[in-house]
């Protein structure tokens, strides 16, 4: 029996793009109210679904891969409003987490949400906007510098993969797409012949705005004269998927999101090889359909590589656990659950990772953010980490363990708050060492370093029958707080 796939379902529908009055949508009597923007325009309902899925559903790998993809092919709710459209976009990433990266790029390119975010919707051959073309190359496929198969710089220095003329050719090639049919306004649709703003499906071609000149692309691919928008798009995808940079560039980012910030060149090369072959074999099982860009094969190579699975990781191994994964890791380990409300505008903002609201197309943090104090290592998640956020991580543990988390918010549909349940651990409270070890395995998959373990046990043993009538509960809280506060948990290895 397969595992049911998580979905985004919360929030309202497409009425925001079918408003034929001259009145702002949330001022209309049928929709006016304190929660109109939240439920129709914002990503907050999706945040509810995100954390409910992450803390309760079984398809954890699908969710983790989709979360990695949404930090590579970024859109945000700061620049694009429309709950139903954002929901469609991110359901597409869930749907394609194990398909093919070419399919991801095609769906992203045709998404009207991305079309609005990076100005490719209604892009006109007369004066094409270059935003999407530039980010397709820079962030979504090949990167800015020529790479070896292992992700290192060719020749040891940055040789640019493209120039402004290249970007312009890609912009021309991707002109001629408009919104799917369905949107209406009081003013009609603009420009002439295009559809009104609407997010209910893929963008559709509008030939009159598509450039029909010959446009050279990368890798010897060329868009011919008199092309259609659809054939031009296929050639654009051919050119970036066949480019030698795409496999190591995307493969390394998947490693960074799922396993380690500083993978060895050999690790990157093995993952890139799986991306190119579309197939990966490990432990007697083959993953992937054998087509370049296969994500099932690539993700398997990321997670089953010896560098990811070793019991004695190198000093450079691992990554800072970003806030979202810190939240969900603690909650799942401590029998918790969250309806997502407290992890959005409260803890998400405090720790600078409010899901679906990254500040720009460059995500919450760059993949090459340098680790403070190191000349050679990067730590992407350190881009949103500082002394204050280190303390706020401890405050989050205090909130869950000592403040009782959050109760249900009446205005949130199906709310149940954010809480943990530490009672099952009280059965081990009499044996502080056993309790600490049990929590350590849940937190890190292994026992803590001996010095750390000894000190935590000592701190836990300070609570006993003579000091408190609730000593078992206090021991569990103390142990959980200290275990999840350790670098062993905060840095995933």
Q: Residue 2's pLDDT is what? A: 65
Q: Residue 1's pLDDT is what? A: 45
Q: Does residue 242 sit in helix, strand or coil?
A: helix
Indicate if 222 and 370 belong to the same structural domain: no
Within 33-173, where are the H helices? 36, 44-56, 60-70, 83-95, 101-110, 112-117, 131-138, 164-173
Q: Are 249 and 148 in contact (CB under 8 A)?
A: no
425 within some domain: yes
Q: Residue 307's pLDDT is what? A: 95
Q: Residue 129's pLDDT is what? A: 98
Task: Please state, for a pLDDT cut of 70, what percent of the chain lies above it.
Answer: 100
Joined together, the tokens standing for residue 282 give 């490990």
Average pLDDT over residues 23-27: 97
Average pLDDT over residues 180-204: 97
CA distance 97 to 74: 15
Within 174-294, where are the H helices? 229-242, 246-258, 265-277
Average pLDDT over residues 121-139: 98
Q: Which of 91, 97, 108, 76 is nearest to 237 (CA)?
A: 108
CA distance 251 to 273: 9
CA distance 324 to 343: 8
CA atoms within 13 A of residue 68's CA, in its CB half-sphere:
25
Joined together, the tokens standing for residue 223 give 């868009």
Residue 330 — pLDDT band, cuts 50, 70, 90? very high
Residue 174 — pLDDT band, cuts 50, 70, 90? very high
CB atoms within 10 A of CB 277: 18
Indicate if 50 and 147 belong to the same structural domain: yes
Domain that holds residue 90: 14-242
Q: Are 438 and 484 in contact (CB under 8 A)?
A: no
Residue 313 — pLDDT band, cuts 50, 70, 90? confident
Q: Residue 312's pLDDT is what? A: 78
Joined together, the tokens standing for residue 398 give 């205090």
220 Cβ neighbours under 8 A, 6+ residues apart:
none
371 within some domain: yes
Question: What is the enclosing helix (H) or strand (E) of 222?
Answer: strand 222-223
pTM greater than 0.95? yes
Average pLDDT over residues 139-157: 98
Q: Does residue 282 sit in helix, strand or coil?
A: strand
CA distance 245 to 376: 22
Mean pLDDT of the chain: 97
Joined together, the tokens standing for residue 200 give 């209910």
Burial of 43 (0-12, 13-18, 19+ CB in 10 A): buried
Q: Which of 295, 339, 388 is nearest to 96 (CA)?
A: 295
280 within some domain: no
Burial of 414 (0-12, 13-18, 19+ CB in 10 A): exposed
Which DSSP state fits 41? Answer: I
Indicate if 340 and 238 belong to the same structural domain: no
364 within some domain: yes
Q: Residue 3's pLDDT is what? A: 75
26 Cβ neighbours under 8 A, 6+ residues apart:
32, 33, 36, 37, 40, 41
How many residues are there in the chain? 493
Joined together, the tokens standing for residue 136 give 């397709």
| 183 alpha carbon, distance to own chain's centre | 29
Q: Which residues pair with 418 in a beta bridge?
A: 338, 406
Indicate if 25 and 153 belong to the same structural domain: yes
pLDDT > 90? residue 375: no
376 within some domain: yes
Residue at a domain's end among 202, 217, 242? 242
Q: Does residue 315 sit in helix, strand or coil?
A: coil
Indicate if 324 and 235 belong to the same structural domain: no
pLDDT > 90? residue 66: yes
Joined together, the tokens standing for residue 133 give 């073309």
Indicate if 46 and 180 belong to the same structural domain: yes
Q: Are 113 and 148 in contact (CB under 8 A)?
A: no
Residue at a domain's end among 242, 272, 293? 242
Average pLDDT over residues 48-67: 98
pLDDT > 50? residue 207: yes
Average pLDDT over residues 325-352: 98
pLDDT tens digits for 240-282?
999 999 999 999 999 999 999 999 999 999 999 999 999 999 9
410 Cβ neighbours under 8 A, 6+ residues apart:
none
pLDDT > 90? residue 222: yes
Residue at a domain's end among 242, 271, 293? 242
164 within some domain: yes
pLDDT > 50? residue 178: yes
Q: Which of 388, 329, 384, 324 is nearest to 359 (CA)?
A: 384
Q: CA quadruple 378, 98, 105, 182: dihedral positive or negative?
A: negative
pLDDT > 80? residue 482: yes
Q: Are 343 and 409 in contact (CB under 8 A)?
A: no
Average pLDDT over residues 148-155: 98
What total number of domains does the chain contain? 2
449 within some domain: yes
Q: How far is CA 385 from CA 210, 339, 377, 393, in A?
A: 44, 25, 16, 10
């Amino acid at each position: 029996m397969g595992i049911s796939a998580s979905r985004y379902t919360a929030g309202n529908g497409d009425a925001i793009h079918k408003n034929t009055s001259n009145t702002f949508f949330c001022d209309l009597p049928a929709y006016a109210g304190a929660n109109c923007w939240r439920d129709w325009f914002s990503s907050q309902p999706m945040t509810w679904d995100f954390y409910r899925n992450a803390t309760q559903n079984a398809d954890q790998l699908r969710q983790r891969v989709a979360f990695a993809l949404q930090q590579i092919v970024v859109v945000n709710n700061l620049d694009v409003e429309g709950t139903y459209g954002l929901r469609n976009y991110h359901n597409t990433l869930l749907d394609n987490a194990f398909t093919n990266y070419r399919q991801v790029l095609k769906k992203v390119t045709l998404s009207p949400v991305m079309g609005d975010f990076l100005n490719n919707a209604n892009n006109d051959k007369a004066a094409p906007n270059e935003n999407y073309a530039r980010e397709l190359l820079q962030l979504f496929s090949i990167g800015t510098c020529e790479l070896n198969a292992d992700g290192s710089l060719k020749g040891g220095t940055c040789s640019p993969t493209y120039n402004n003329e290249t970007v312009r050719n890609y912009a021309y090639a991707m002109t001629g797409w408009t919104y799917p049919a369905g949107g209406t306004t009081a003013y009609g649709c603009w420009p002439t012949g295009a559809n009104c703003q609407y997010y209910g499906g893929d963008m559709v071609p509008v030939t009159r705005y598509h450039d029909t000149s010959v446009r050279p692309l990368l890798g010897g691919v060329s868009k011919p004269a008199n092309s259609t928008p659809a054939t031009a798009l296929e050639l654009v995808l051919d050119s970036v998927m066949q480019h030698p940079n795409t496999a190591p560039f995307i493969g390394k980012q998947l490693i960074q999101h799922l396993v380690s910030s500083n993978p060895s060149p050999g690790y990157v090369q093995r993952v890139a090889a799986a991306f190119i072959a579309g197939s990966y074999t490990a432990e007697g099982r083959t993953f992937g359909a054998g087509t370049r860009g296969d994500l099932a094969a690539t993700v398997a190579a990321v997670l089953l590589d010896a560098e990811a699975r070793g019991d004695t990781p190198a000093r450079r191994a691992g990554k800072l656990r970003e806030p979202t994964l810190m939240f969900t890791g603690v909650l799942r380990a401590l029998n918790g659950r969250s309806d997502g409300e407290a992890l959005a505008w409260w803890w998400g903002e405090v720790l600078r990772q409010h899901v679906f609201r990254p500040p720009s197309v460059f995500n919450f943090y760059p993949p090459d953010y340098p680790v403070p104090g190191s000349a050679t290592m990067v730590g992407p998640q350190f881009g949103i980490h500082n002394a204050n956020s280190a303390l706020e991580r401890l405050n989050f543990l205090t909130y869950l363990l000592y403040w009782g988390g959050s109760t249900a918010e009446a205005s949130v549909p199906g709310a149940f708050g954010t809480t943990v349940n530490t009672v099952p651990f009280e059965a081990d409270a009499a044996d502080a060492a056993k309790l600490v070890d049990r929590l350590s395995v849940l937190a890190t998959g292994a026992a803590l370093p001996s010095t750390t373990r000894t000190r935590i046990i000592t701190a836990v043993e300070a609570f006993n029958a003579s000091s408190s009538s609730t000593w078992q509960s206090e021991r569990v809280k103390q142990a959980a707080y200290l275990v999840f506060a350790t670098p062993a948990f905060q840095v995933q290895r």
